[in-house]
A and B are shown apart, each in its own frame.
Chain A
Amino acid sequence: MTDAAPAAPRPLIDSNDSRRPHGLLLVAIPVFLVAWLVIWPIINAIGRTLWRPDATGALGFNLNSYVFFFSDQYSINNLTITLWTTLVCAIVLLAICLPISLYLRFSHGKLPAYVQAMAIFPMFVPSIILAYAFIRVLGPNGMVDILLNSVGLPKIRTPYLTPWGPVIGLVWDNIPLTVLILLSGLGNVANQAIEAARDVGANRFQVFWHIILPRISNSVLVAISFAVLGIFSSFTLPYLLGPASPEMMGPFMNRTFREVNDPLNAITQAVITFCFCIAFGLFYVRSVARNQGK
């Protein structure tokens, strides 16, 4: 491109060598920040939990804090509830968001616009507000109970301060991102492909299963890994809506660090949480890499 005739219009994307340092400079700031504020603390945390002084004061390789975590039933319970919450949230999110996205993709008119606005709305609500609204509505003697009572029905078993409290809150909080990602994935599904399938007699489910799903599987993976990453390490909603015990890893880490004054175990919990998150993160990276390879 560089040796194009002088009369030719300049290409929109200029690969002129003299511009490259600017590009690298622009990238350098985020790369530096990530290395400084994310990568370095990770290495530091892993190092500090693995190489530390033993009883005699000699610095050495020491897995004690990890052994303690995995032999401590209380910590295991907290990890289990975190995995359970994450899994349940992921399933419920898909079950809610896939139909919404399909509806938004294939409908026209005014109503879908309202539905979309409703689906995106949680993005603008801070989770603390959400938590208190949740307590007022679904909490004991909340709005739902009052409405049920007014028509003579019994009260609901409130999810407040049970493991279902964070699940409901986190699902609601994650709907916008999931819907947006799925919707962008559905943009890749050509109407012609669906019409062609209909022409050869495919019913709605077959169209979904054989035409739509293979094309959006990547988006589903991305949406789920995004949601799962956020949910696994969430803090505010499990803190305000969840039970005192077992607690999710976010509140558990924070409490161990601040209230129990036990930085070593808090960092160990953080490293373990990070290992789970990186496993989910690899799904995302793999699917992005696969997508770019196409």
Chain B
Amino acid sequence: MRRATGADPVRQSGMRRDAASAIGDVKRGGRPGRHDGRKNMKRRDFMISAAGVVAGSALLPRMSFAAEGVIDWYTSSDTNILDFWANTVKPAFEAANPGISINLVDAGDGAGIIAIGERAMAAKEQGADPQADFFESGDALLPSGAIEAGVYANIKEAGLSNYAKVNPLAIESDYSLPYRGSQVLLAYDSTKLSAADAPKNWDDLVTWIKANPGQFVYNRPDKGGSGGNFVRRAIHQANGLDPAVFTVDNYTEEFGNEALTKAWDILSDIAPSLYDNGAYSSGNTQSIQLLSQGVVTMTPVWSDQVLQAISQGVLPENTGLVQLQDLALAGGFTRSIVIENGVNRDASLKLADFILSEEIQSAILTELGGFPGVSWDYVSPELRERFADIVPTSIPTFPGGDWAGAINDGWYRNVAPNVDRNS
């Protein structure tokens, strides 16, 4: 999952996965014949109990045990991340470490990872096998108490050879490893807007939006991080361009109202000039779809998602990308976690070290379109040169916690309804 903010995961795909519950088919009992009543009853009894056994065995949790040498890996990220692991990281790691393989499992969303973390805590108490070794994306503070319970490995103390390379700004906890980042950029249709005219700061962007009504769209802030971080950039704009003003625990209703109301004014001001007099798409993908159908000229996008869209031909090769230079749109890091009581703890730490290697960190830039988790000094100069345009000097983040709820509620109440769309 891409993080919209430092601590608040905003699901970036348009819809959530439904938890598909599969319950085995219950075989239907044969229809009783006419004459053999008693025998039939027995058969019916048998069919009923057989059906019960079939249904019951389908409902029972499948018993399995973690295998030595197979790292049980879980992610809450989107399919592009899973693809990246399956096609790039897994083969490279397995080639470099014969005898160790990775079992890639999609945990769905952040709640799925937390549930597996809770399972690991329960397993630790019972001295059982947690059947999990590595979280590709997780928050070391969740589930609460996991660190105190000794379920998450202390990565700082684990002696990883590459740990010193990690970007110090990205480190949030000794128990999680920031290995990749994403940021929100502005993508634009370069046939309608030349790179020279693309806005490079917030004021230019607002001027451009107003001069080109209907050509800009951002998605609802809770439905995807691209729109969410655009809204957060407006909040930064309204509060002196200083991300440090907002911390995870300094939300109060009074301060929130004061800080956010100014941002709602900025966003309400541009609303009539947005697509369809103030319509907001319902996710990152839908924004990209509107851009690809030539409906809008510019939209905020996740860096990795837009690069994938371009490479898959959803967006044309000449799609322009620009980052605001006065203060970049917020982004965030994805942090990996190693399970301390997992069967493959040591192999997982090897994997953690491996994803900080130059090979994988470069691939995160070139193949995933994300940011490296290591400091820029450890990225090859050639890549630094190539991505200079979209790389900001800093990656501002926005805290989650109570701020997320206040932003999500406030935006819907103050920005979304303001416009009479039929006028």
* A residues lining the B interface (CB < 8 Å): 9-10, 12, 14, 18-19, 22, 25-26, 74, 77, 128, 135, 139-142, 158, 161-162, 236, 239-240, 242-247, 255, 258-262
Contact = CB atoms under 8 A, between A and B. Distances in A.
Nearest to B412: A245
Contacts of A77: 417
B182 interface: no
Interface in B223-278: 275-276
B379 to A, nearest CB: 35
Given A140-B276, A244-B412, A247-B412, 8 more contacts: A25-B48, A135-B286, A161-B281, A236-B15, A243-B280, A259-B222, A259-B408, A262-B409
B230 to A, nearest CB: 14
Interface in B275-304: 275-276, 279-283, 286, 289-290, 293-295
B408 A260 contact: yes
**For chain B, which range describes its interface: under 10, 10 to 19, 20 to 34, or 35 or more residues?**
20 to 34
Nearest to B55: A29
A246 B417 contact: yes
B34 interface: yes
12 contacts: A10-B34, A22-B45, A74-B412, A74-B413, A140-B290, A161-B279, A162-B276, A240-B14, A240-B283, A245-B416, A259-B222, A260-B405
A10 B35 CA distance: 7
Interface in B89-131: none
Nearest to A162: B421
B37 interface: yes
A293 to B, nearest CB: 30
Contacts of A162: 276, 279, 421
B293 A161 contact: no
Interface string B203-228: 00000000000000000101000000
B412 A9 contact: no
Residue in A240, A244, A245 whose Cβ sees the most chain B Cβ within 10 Å = A244
Question: For the complex, would chain B's binding face be called helix, strand, loop or mixed by DSSP majority?
Answer: helix
A133 B271 CA distance: 27
B237 to A, nearest CB: 21
Contacts of A247: 412
Contacts of A259: 222, 404-405, 408-409
A141 B421 CA distance: 19
Contacts of B220: 244
Given A10-B37, A141-B293, A245-B416, A255 B282 contact: no
A260 to B, nearest CB: 5
Q: Which 7 A-B pairs have the closest CB atoms?
A: A245-B416, A259-B222, A140-B295, A161-B279, A244-B416, A245-B417, A244-B280
A22 B44 contact: yes
A255 B412 contact: yes
Contacts, number: 81
B404 A243 contact: no
A240 B222 contact: no
A243 B271 CA distance: 14
B34 A161 contact: no
B279 A243 contact: yes
B12 to A, nearest CB: 13
Contacts of B222: 255, 258-259
Contacts of A246: 417
B368 to A, nearest CB: 24
A12 B220 CA distance: 61
A29 B229 CA distance: 48
Interface string B32-59: 0011010001001100100000000000
A141 B280 contact: no
Interface string B162-193: 00000000000000000000000000000000
B60 to A, nearest CB: 16
Nearest to B276: A161
Contacts of A255: 222, 408, 412
A128 B15 contact: yes
Contacts of B281: 161
Nearest to B44: A22
A74 B413 CA distance: 7
Given A77-B417, A244-B416, A259-B222, A141 B408 contact: no
Given A239-B15, A244-B416, A259-B222, A161 B280 contact: yes
A258 B110 CA distance: 12
A141 B276 contact: no
Interface in B379-423: 404-405, 408-409, 412-413, 416-417, 421
Nearest to B228: A259
Contacts of B290: 140
Contacts of B408: 255, 259-260
B417 A74 contact: yes
A194 to B, nearest CB: 37
A14 B33 CA distance: 12
B417 A240 contact: no
A24 B81 CA distance: 50
Nearest to B51: A26
A262 to B, nearest CB: 7
A243 B282 CA distance: 8
Contacts of B409: 259-260, 262
A276 B224 CA distance: 31
B15 A142 contact: no
A162 B280 CA distance: 10
Interface string B13-41: 01100000000000000000011010001
